[in-house]
Structure formats: C-alpha cells, structure tokens
C-alpha cells in the first residue's frame, strides 16, 4: 500500500501507537520489532484494545481487512511521519546537542507557548522511533512544532533531519557524550553538526550561540543564522548575571531569574530567549515564561528535605555534564557539601580514563564526603577518604548511617544508575 493511502487511513485515526499497553481508542498501531519482541504477534491484542488499523510486516499477522501489510513497519512509520510533516506544513524547530537538549526544548516550548499554539517532543522521544511519533502527534492547528533529536553515532542526526525536515535548528553544545558510538569528541562535533549540514543544504535558519567557539567554527560563513549570546553585535544580546544557585540573566534591560541551577544552563536559557525574540514574543512574556519553568524528571532539580538541600541531576551523565555539575557545586556558597556520583555510560574505550579524570577533579576540589558508585568509578585510583562502591546495593547500608542534616548534596549519574533512589534514604 502506498504511503498516500496509508495516510488517508491515519487521518481518521485518533493517534498512533507502538505499544499495546498504551492504546487509544481508534488509534493506528505500528507493529514494530526489536531484539526481544515482535509487534506483529500483538495485532489481535491491539484490535481488542481499540486500534482501528494495525500496520504489520508479517503476512501471518494479517488477521482481518484492517491490517495494513507493508515491507517494513519502522520504515513505514518514518515515511508516514515525513508525509504528515509536509501535509500540515507548520514550521519545525529541531535541536540536538550533547547536554541540555530536553531542558532547552522545554524552555523553547514554554517561551513560544506564551504567545503561540505549540507542541514539542514528549519526554525524550528523540530517536528513530521517537521523532516520527512526535511528528505524527502534530496537527495543522499548531503554529510551531519542536522536535528534539538525539544521536549516539554518525549519520543519525542526518537521518532524523531527513525525517523532520526542520525549518530552524540549533545545537545546545558539543561534549563528551556517547563516545562509544562517536569514537571521539571530534566525532561528536561531526555527528551533531549534521543538523547544520541539513540547514545549510536547504537554506534554513540556524540559531548560533556566539559564545561557543565550536559552534562558530562548525557553522562557518553560512549567512542564514540568528546569533545570540553576550556579544553586543548579536541579533539577540543575553548576558549571564549570576548562578547562586539559580541562573539569572539580563535581557533587554530586564533581569530574568530562572529556576535552573548551574551556569551551564545559561546557554539553554539564552537560546530560548533568542527564539522567542526572533518570533516576536514580548520581553515580558519571555520573562514570565523563563521564570515559570520548573525542571523535573531528575534534571537539575533542587529538592529540600528538612535542612538538607539536594541537587538532583540523575537523569543522565557524561564527562562534560559531570564536570559542569561539579564546578557548579564548587561555586555554591555552602559549607557542608556531599557528592554522590554514579558511573557515566557509553564511553567505550575511554571509560577508564574519563572516570579517573573525574575522580582527580573531585579530589582536587573537594576534601570529604565523596561517594562514587559503579563498576567504572570503583576501579579508579583514589584517596582513602573517597568512598567507593561497585553498585548501589553496596552503597545502601552506608546511606542509612550518613548524616545529611544541614548538607548540600549533589546526586549525579547516568540513567542506568538510577541514583534518585538515594532520596529514599534522606
């Protein structure tokens, strides 16, 4: 069946779904396959759960006339998303980067939503499945769609850009993330810059932080850019004011006090301001939007439990974001500081070196109350005062004994470490 014909059926469905446990009535179910599952086997369950159509790629799954047999379900999902994106023809803003993608996406959404009808990627559905699902959730009634794109290897951003076909794009930063797939920091820069390559090839607009030298080098002499940052000749001038602990900026003569911690969030806020300015959102609406945004989902949250102040940044971690979090904690005006740091994943052959470098920084900048958790951190060379644990289970008995009254606590690690579990012991 042609994509055009599948699209006509999609238009009379309530939504799309890839999970029979999360079906909407009259949705279109896509029977995706993975290493340990085959969605074709759940076609009947999808119909029982309310699906109007099931897109399948196994002939034995064609159990009734509302089964749509295709060569490959995933490819069909991606092609349908691009077809829909062109059919509704709304401006698409895409973003990628090593750190801060989801926070930046939410900030942009909040700023634009103060004036326009906007929808963005839910959570971090930013891969080869999540991007199509995001696009298929958009409608022609929107003024903007915001699409977050993640990658852990070369050509992935190029592929996702081809699906989303953005009119505007930005890269939050280049950092030491997913080194296992990208191979090196140079590989990261090249991979993330595939978004710039798409924008250049199609004469679309890039938002560039002129304070980031790597971004300036990668965009080169491309003319269709909107520049933001601290330089006075930028299209949008945004100045960093302070971060103790919350980031405050100056824009258009107005002080904007965010609820985000760490000066590393300055760039994330600045690009949201720049995009709002570009699309004629008023200064007052930008201020209200930035000041109202509250981080969640274990991302740079500040949680207070009695006299204990916790910086919870346990959604993800890589060497760049870990160093930024440590630098922020070092700068904070607090006497009793505790560190609970978990392993950083997907570093490949660089894992041992990168974890050791983090430990070296910790022991240079902090004297006591250092707790590092995970197989990689456990292998590092460290002082006796540094408490090492190969797993969270090994840490648990110690947590019951640690007195965190009147303490400022940083909790940071990769998602797989799930260090937010520490909160149960405070």
- Residues 408, 288, single domain; the answer is no
- Which is it for the CA torsion 420, 104, 270, 187, positive or negative? positive
pLDDT in tens, 202-227: 999 999 999 999 999 999 999 999 99
- Residues 283, 314, single domain; the answer is no
Residue 313 falls inside a structural domain: yes
Chain Cα centroid distance, residue 80:
24
- Residues 218, 265, single domain; the answer is yes
- Residues 51, 130, single domain; the answer is no
What gap in Å lies between CA 232 and CA 228, rounded to an integer?
9
Contact 287, 253 (CB under 8 A): no
- Residues 149, 236, single domain; the answer is yes
The model carries a pTM of: 0.91
- Residues 256, 140, single domain; the answer is yes
The stretch 50-65 carries a mean pLDDT of 96
Last residue of a domain, one of 254, 275, 292: 292
Residue 85 falls inside a structural domain: no
Q: What percent of the chain has pLDDT over 70?
A: 100
Q: 299 falls in which pLDDT band (50, 70, 90)?
A: confident
pLDDT in tens, 383-414: 888 999 999 999 999 998 999 999 999 999 99
Number of separate domains in the chain = 3
The stretch 62-74 carries a mean pLDDT of 97
The stretch 167-188 carries a mean pLDDT of 91
The strands making up 301-305's β-sheet, listed across from edge to edge, are 301-305, 308-313, 408-412, 337-342, 370-373, 386-389
pLDDT at 123 over 90: no
Contact 372, 398 (CB under 8 A): no
pLDDT at 293 over 80: yes
What pLDDT does residue 367 have?
86
pLDDT at 297 over 80: no
Contact 346, 379 (CB under 8 A): no
What pLDDT does residue 58 have?
95
Residue 75 falls inside a structural domain: no
What pLDDT does residue 244 have?
81
pLDDT in tens, 158-172: 999 999 999 999 999
What gap in Å lies between CA 158 and CA 80, rounded to an integer?
18
What gap in Å lies between CA 241 and CA 360, rounded to an integer?
30
Residue 43 falls inside a structural domain: yes
Q: What mean pLDDT, rounded, does the chain reach?
A: 95
What pLDDT does residue 66 have?
97
Closest C-alpha to 274, from 259, 261, 260, 290: 290
- Residues 276, 313, single domain; the answer is no
Last residue of a domain, one of 240, 271, 292: 292
What pLDDT does residue 193 have?
96
Residue 371 falls inside a structural domain: yes
pLDDT in tens, 344-383: 999 999 999 999 999 999 999 998 899 999 999 999 999 8
- Residues 239, 312, single domain; the answer is no
Q: Which of 10-14, 38-42, 102-106, 300-304 has the lowest mean pLDDT?
A: 300-304
pLDDT at 139 over 80: yes
The stretch 265-271 carries a mean pLDDT of 96
Residue 277 falls inside a structural domain: yes
- Residues 59, 94, single domain; the answer is no
Last residue of a domain, one of 257, 292, 327: 292
CATH assignment of the domain containing 34? 3.40.1390.10
- Residues 281, 312, single domain; the answer is no
- Residues 61, 168, single domain; the answer is no
CATH assignment of the domain containing 113? 3.40.1190.10
The stretch 302-316 carries a mean pLDDT of 91
The stretch 120-133 carries a mean pLDDT of 93
Residue 79 falls inside a structural domain: no
What gap in Å lies between CA 181 and CA 349, rounded to an integer?
10
CATH assignment of the domain containing 311? 3.90.190.20
pLDDT at 426 over 90: no
The stretch 247-260 carries a mean pLDDT of 96
Range of the domain at 373: 301-425
Residue 84 falls inside a structural domain: no
DSSP secondary structure of 291-305: HH----TTSSEEEEE
- Residues 221, 151, single domain; the answer is yes
The stretch 35-54 carries a mean pLDDT of 95
């Amino acid at each position: 069946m042609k994509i055009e014909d599948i699209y006509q059926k999609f238009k009379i469905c309530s939504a799309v779904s890839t999970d029979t446990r999360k079906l909407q009535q009259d949705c279109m179910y896509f029977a995706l396959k993975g290493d340990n599952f085959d969605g074709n086997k759940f076609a009947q369950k999808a119909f029982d759960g309310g699906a109007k159509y099931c897109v399948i790629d196994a002939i034995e799954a064609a159990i009734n006339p509302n089964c749509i047999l295709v060569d490959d379900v995933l490819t069909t999902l991606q092609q349908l998303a691009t077809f829909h994106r062109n059919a509704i023809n709304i401006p698409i803003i895409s973003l990628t980067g090593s750190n801060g993608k989801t926070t930046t996406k939410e900030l942009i959404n909040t700023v634009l939503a103060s004036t326009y009808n906007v929808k963005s990627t839910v959570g971090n559905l930013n891969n080869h499945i999540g991007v199509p699902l995001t696009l298929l959730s958009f409608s022609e009634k929107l003024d903007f769609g915001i699409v977050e794109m993640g990658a852990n290897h070369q050509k992935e951003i190029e592929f996702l850009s081809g699906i989303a076909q953005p009119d505007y794009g930005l890269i939050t930063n280049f950092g030491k993330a997913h080194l296992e797939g990208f191979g090196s920091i140079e590989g990261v820069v090249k991979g993330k810059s595939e978004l710039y390559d798409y924008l250049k090839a199609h004469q679309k607009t890039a938002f560039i932080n002129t304070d980031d030298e790597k971004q300036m080098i990668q965009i080169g002499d491309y003319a269709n850019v909107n520049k933001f940052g601290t330089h006075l000749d930028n299209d949008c001038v945004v100045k960093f004011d302070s971060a103790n602990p919350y980031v405050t900026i100056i824009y258009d003569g107005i002080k904007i006090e965010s609820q985000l911690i760490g000066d590393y969030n300055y760039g994330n806020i600045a690009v949201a301001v720049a995009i709002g300015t570009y699309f004629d959102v008023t200064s007052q609406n930008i201020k209200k939007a930035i000041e109202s945004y509250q981080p969640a989902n274990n991302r740079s949250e500040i949680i207070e439990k009695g006299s204990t102040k916790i910086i919870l940044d346990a959604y993800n971690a890589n060497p760049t974001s870990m160093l930024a979090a440590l630098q922020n904690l070092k700068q904070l005006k607090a006497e009793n500081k505790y560190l609970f740091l978990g392993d950083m994943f997907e570093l490949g052959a660089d894992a041992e070196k990168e974890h050791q470098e983090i430990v070296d920084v910790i022991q240079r900048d902090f004297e006591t109350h250092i707790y590092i958790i995970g197989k990689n951190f456990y292998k590092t060379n460290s002082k006796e005062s540094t408490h090492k644990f190969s797993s969270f289970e090994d840490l648990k008995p110690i947590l019951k004994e640690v007195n965190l009254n009147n303490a400022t606590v940083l909790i940071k690690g990769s998602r797989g470490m799930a260090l937010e579990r520490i909160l149960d012991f405070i």
